[in-house]
Amino acid sequence: MRLPQVRRLQVVRHCVQLTVLLSLFLIPTIARYQNYVSAREADRVIEKWQGTLAGGVIASVDSVFRALPGGETERAGSMQRNRQRIGRYTHQVRGSVWSADIGPVSLTDPLAAAESVVGSRHFPWVLAVGLVIPVLVTMLLGRVFCSWVCPAGLLFEITDALRGVLRFLEINPRNLRMARGTKYGMLAAGLLLTFVVAAPVLGYIYPPAVLSREIHDFVFATFDRAEHGRFGFWVGGMSWMAVVMLTIVAIELFVSRRWWCRYVCPGGGLYSLLGAARPVRVKLRHESCTDCALCVAACPIGLNPMKNQMGIECDNCGACISSCNDAALGYGLGVHQSASIDSDGTDETLAEDAA
Amino acid sequence: MESKLTRRRFLTRLGTGAFTVTGLAGTGLLAGLGSAGEAAACVRPPGALLEDDFLATCIRCGRCTDACPNRCITPFTKEAGSELALTPGARQFGTPVIFPRRKACMLCNGEPGDKLLCTDACPTGALIPTLKTPEAIQEGVHMGTAVVDTTICYSFNGASCGACVRACPFEGEALSAGLWERPIVDPSACVGCGLCERSCVHYPQAIRIVPRPRDWSVAS
Please spell the DSSP secondary structure of B184-197, one letter per residue. EE-TTT-----HHH
Judged against a pLDDT cut of 80, whether residue B215 lies above it is answered with no
Q: Which residues, 6+ apart, have CB-to-CB distance to B57 below 8 Å?
A: A116, A119, A120, A122, A124, B49, B124, B125, B126
Say which DSSP state B202 is in. Answer: S
Contact in structure between A19 and A93 (CB atoms under 8 Å): no
Q: Residues A330-335: what's their mean pLDDT?
A: 81
| Helix-strand-coil split of chain B, %, nearest 5 | 35, 15, 55
Contact in structure between B74 and B64 (CB atoms under 8 Å): no
The confidence score (pLDDT) of residue A342 equals: 41
Q: Do A119 and B79 touch (CB under 8 A)?
A: no
Judged against a pLDDT cut of 70, whether residue B213 lies above it is answered with yes
Cβ neighbours of B168 (radius 10 Å): 24
Contact in structure between A251 and A162 (CB atoms under 8 Å): no
Which residues of A fall within a CB distance of 8 Å from B12?
177-179
* pLDDT band at B31; cut points 50, 70, 90: low
Q: Do A198 and B52 touch (CB under 8 A)?
A: yes
Give the chain A residue whose CA is nearest to the CA of B8. Answer: A177
Judged against a pLDDT cut of 60, whether residue B83 lies above it is answered with yes
Q: Do B61 and A99 touch (CB under 8 A)?
A: yes
Contact in structure between A323 and A296 (CB atoms under 8 Å): no
Q: Which residue has the higher pLDDT, B77 or A247?
A: A247
Q: Write out pLDDT tens, residues A152-162.
A: 999 999 999 99
Judged against a pLDDT cut of 90, whether residue A17 lies above it is answered with yes
The confidence score (pLDDT) of residue B4 equals: 64
Q: Which fold has domain A276-349?
A: Alpha-Beta Plaits (3.30.70)
The confidence score (pLDDT) of residue B27 equals: 64
Give the chain A residue whose CA is nearest to the CA of B17. Answer: A182
The confidence score (pLDDT) of residue B30 equals: 62
End-to-end Cα distance, chain A? 32
Judged against a pLDDT cut of 50, whether residue A339 lies above it is answered with no
Q: Residues A48-66: what's their mean pLDDT?
A: 84
H or E element, residue B96: strand B96-98
What is the SS3 assignment for chain A?
A: CECCCCCCHHHHHHHHHHHHHHHHHHHHHHHHHHHHHHCCCHHHHHHHCCCCHHHHHHHHHHHHHHHCCCCCCCCHHHHHHHHHHHHHHHCCEEECCCEEEECCEEEECHHHHHHHHHHHCCCCHHHHHHHHHHHHHHHHHCCHHHHHHCHHHHHHHHHHHHHHHHHHCCCCCCCCCCCCCHHHHHHHHHHHHHHHHCCCCHHHCCHHHHHHHHHHHHHHHHHHHHHCCCCCCCCCCCCHHHHHHHHHHHHHHHCCCCHHHHHHCHHHHHHHHHCCCCCEEEEECCCCCCCCCHHHHHCCCCCEHHHCECCCCCCCCCHHHHHCCCCCEEEEECCCCCCCCCCCCCHHHHHHHHC
CB proximity B91 to A under 8 Å: yes
CB proximity B138 to A under 8 Å: no
* pLDDT band at B26; cut points 50, 70, 90: low
Q: Write out pLDDT tens, residues A201-238.
A: 888 889 999 999 889 888 888 888 888 877 766 666 67
Give the chain A residue whose CA is nearest to the CA of B60. Answer: A203
Judged against a pLDDT cut of 80, whether residue A343 lies above it is answered with no
Judged against a pLDDT cut of 90, whether residue A349 lies above it is answered with no
The confidence score (pLDDT) of residue A351 equals: 43
The confidence score (pLDDT) of residue A207 equals: 92
Judged against a pLDDT cut of 50, whether residue A335 lies above it is answered with yes
The confidence score (pLDDT) of residue B51 equals: 85
Q: Residues A262-267: what's their mean pLDDT?
A: 91
The confidence score (pLDDT) of residue A4 equals: 74
Q: Which value does ipTM take for this structure?
A: 0.80
Dist. CA A268–CA A182, nearest whole Å: 11
Q: Write out pLDDT tens, residues A302-320.
A: 888 888 777 888 888 888 8
Picking from A38, A94, A239, the nearest residue to B77 by CB comes out as A239
* Core vs surface per residue A71-81: b (16+ CB within 10 A) or e: beeeeeeebbe
Judged against a pLDDT cut of 90, whether residue B93 lies above it is answered with no
The percentage of residues in chain A with a pLDDT greater than 70, rounded to a whole number, is 87
Contact in structure between A316 and A303 (CB atoms under 8 Å): no
Contact in structure between A134 and A145 (CB atoms under 8 Å): yes
Q: Do B55 and A198 touch (CB under 8 A)?
A: yes
The confidence score (pLDDT) of residue A14 equals: 93
Picking from B56, B69, B122, the nearest residue to A199 by CB comes out as B56
Upstream peptide bond of A104 is cis (omega within 30 degrees of 0): no
Judged against a pLDDT cut of 80, whether residue B50 lies above it is answered with yes
Cβ neighbours of A306 (radius 10 Å): 25
Where are the alpha helices (H) located in B58-203, listed in sequence order? Answer: 63-67, 78-82, 117-121, 134-140, 163-167, 195-199
Question: Which backbone phi and psi does B103 adopt, to 5 degrees?
Answer: -155, 130
Q: Write out pLDDT tens, residues A181-192.
A: 888 888 998 899
The confidence score (pLDDT) of residue A348 equals: 42
Among A130-134, A334-338, B118-122, the minimum mean pLDDT is found in A334-338
Q: Do B17 and A96 touch (CB under 8 A)?
A: no
To the nearest whole Å, the CA of B61 is away from the closest chain A CA by 6
Dist. CA A239–CA A22, nearest whole Å: 21
Question: Which backbone phi and psi does A30 adopt, to 5 degrees?
Answer: -65, -35
To the nearest whole Å, the CA of B70 is away from the closest chain A CA by 8
Dist. CA A25–CA A171, nearest whole Å: 34
The confidence score (pLDDT) of residue A355 equals: 40
Q: Do A217 and B75 touch (CB under 8 A)?
A: yes
Domain map (residue ranges) of chain A: 20-141, 144-270, 276-349
The percentage of residues in chain B with a pLDDT greater than 70, rounded to a whole number, is 81
To the nearest whole Å, the CA of B99 is away from the closest chain A CA by 15
* pLDDT band at B217; cut points 50, 70, 90: low
Judged against a pLDDT cut of 80, whether residue A109 lies above it is answered with yes
Q: Which residue has the higher pLDDT, B22 or A241?
A: A241
Mean per-residue pLDDT over chain A, rounded: 83
The confidence score (pLDDT) of residue A334 equals: 76
Q: Write out pLDDT tens, residues A110-140.
A: 999 999 999 888 888 888 988 999 999 999 9
The percentage of residues in chain A with a pLDDT greater than 90, rounded to a whole number, is 24
Dist. CA B15–CA A262, nearest whole Å: 15
Which residues of A fall within a CB distance of 8 Å from B129?
126
Q: Residues B210-215: what's their mean pLDDT?
A: 82
Cβ contacts below 8 Å, chain A against chain B, sum to: 152
* A93 strand-pairing partners: A102
